[in-house]
Chains A and B, each alone.
Chain A
């Protein structure tokens, strides 16, 4: 029995700092995805929205907000929130509805409008919220990115040049992506000369926050078959939580679990493993990967967490050129977060959009030749794993 679903269409609103209402980006992306799928909105039976926490009540109920903006037509609705993993959860809800026989066609939408600068927590004196406490101590998101980066340097001999090479590679990939916010081919010198944010990371190593929207139209394989469509399929969606004792420092926590009474586990190492298991595939089957480069250095962590190489070998893989376009396993052919900046509820869906375009051979100048299988990997605050495998 197949547990796969077909991706009929994908669409995006270009990333940027447009300053408009997030609903506009979501509807733009949704209409683009429906057009790509060749089906009218009125044929959609289930709409699944990825929520945003920064746009008031309409953001909390994103699924219904997008449904109303597209025109109420009686579809069933869902909204998912899982921080940066919200898009994958919205996708998982739609897939579950299809596989349970509750609908044939589902639309998944995520969009965001972001404020300037650091993402900050809600106001007030709230010491029971670890996110509040860490900001009170001056521990921002780049702090965590830099802790991982510095550990790679001291343990594995990673260098500032490696982190910079990731940024330069992704900037070159994204220069050809019409949906990317930053399409400049940054040079090594420009990256190294940008201001220090959190040692060793410079401003151009750390991703920005962006406005943007992404949408995916899913359908049952039977529906796709009836219409004679041969489309990429979702082979797996991992939404795993950590295992106690989770022993790596995780944003926004002040402390890890204690591994006194239980064995220690790496959360991020488990995210892709679950997706591979579900798809019956492994890292050796991949043609490409889209991973969460919140900082350029974290792309190297993901090489290891998705099994492209063993711990400590990511720098070697990068230096070999394997992860560049034209290499054995291109990573972030879209340009990644380096070129997009993060639009939280849309980002995991944007990763899926890229895989679909790549598998259809429609990625233009950034096309990975002969792409057959791709994986996305990301992680949402407070223990939300996210990995999606798309296959031809």
Chain B
């Protein structure tokens, strides 16, 4: 039996363990969070001169700020299955970090099942596949619902 390989579609943005987390930066001076992680060593808070950051896992749960779906096939660099399958998208507010993070919603959930304020949790799912390799990405899933 050949196991499918699981690799990150975007390296360094999230962990691949279960349960998965997004990886953010937290300023050691003011505590502001950043996602994706800061590439330059300077805090973006204009009142902070911080230059050191810790890589931290972000909250895995939050509430829907808004949501929609993609009914038309997006252009590259999106890699589409053939035929294209529409998917839902959610913007989810993380309470502890006080920030909103966008992402696809897991397969099988459509906009009719979503609502502003609904609790969501982070999971890994395939963004696209190449041969026997699944390119994984973070997706949002209504809390307590089995994908």
Contacts and interface: CB of A to CB of B under 8 A. Distances in A.
A120 B32 contact: no
Contact residue range for chain B? 35 or more
A1 interface: no
A258 B87 contact: no
A258 B33 contact: yes
Interface string B116-145: 110000000001000000000100000000
A123 interface: yes
Contacts of A312: none
Number of chain A interface residues as a range: 35 or more
- If over half of A's interface residues share one DSSP class (helix, strand or loop), that class is named, otherwise mixed; here it is loop
Interface string A260-290: 1110100000000000000000000000000
B10 interface: yes
Given A128-B39, A154-B66, A260-B31, A137 B137 contact: yes
Interface in B82-134: 87, 89, 91, 97-104, 111, 115-117, 127
Interface string A134-164: 1111111001001111110011000000000
A254 interface: yes
A138 B98 contact: no
A255 B137 contact: no
A137 B91 CA distance: 13
Contacts of A198: 68-71, 89
Given A249-B91, A255-B101, A255-B102, A151 B66 contact: yes
Contact of A260 (B74, B98, B116, B127): B98
Given A260-B31, A260-B33, A261-B31, A135 B74 contact: yes
B104 A138 contact: yes
Contact of B74 (A138, A146, A147, A154): A138
Contact of A132 (B44, B77, B100, B137): B77
A297 to B, nearest CB: 11
Nearest to B89: A143
B30 interface: yes
A134 B87 contact: no
A260 B97 contact: yes
Contacts of B137: 137
Contacts of B104: 137-138
B78 A199 contact: no
A42 interface: no
Given A136-B78, A147-B68, A155-B116, 10 more contacts: A127-B36, A135-B78, A138-B87, A199-B69, A199-B71, A249-B65, A254-B101, A260-B30, A262-B32, A262-B46
18 contacts: A118-B74, A118-B75, A132-B77, A139-B102, A143-B68, A143-B89, A147-B67, A151-B66, A151-B116, A196-B71, A249-B66, A249-B91, A254-B102, A255-B101, A255-B102, A261-B32, A262-B30, A262-B46
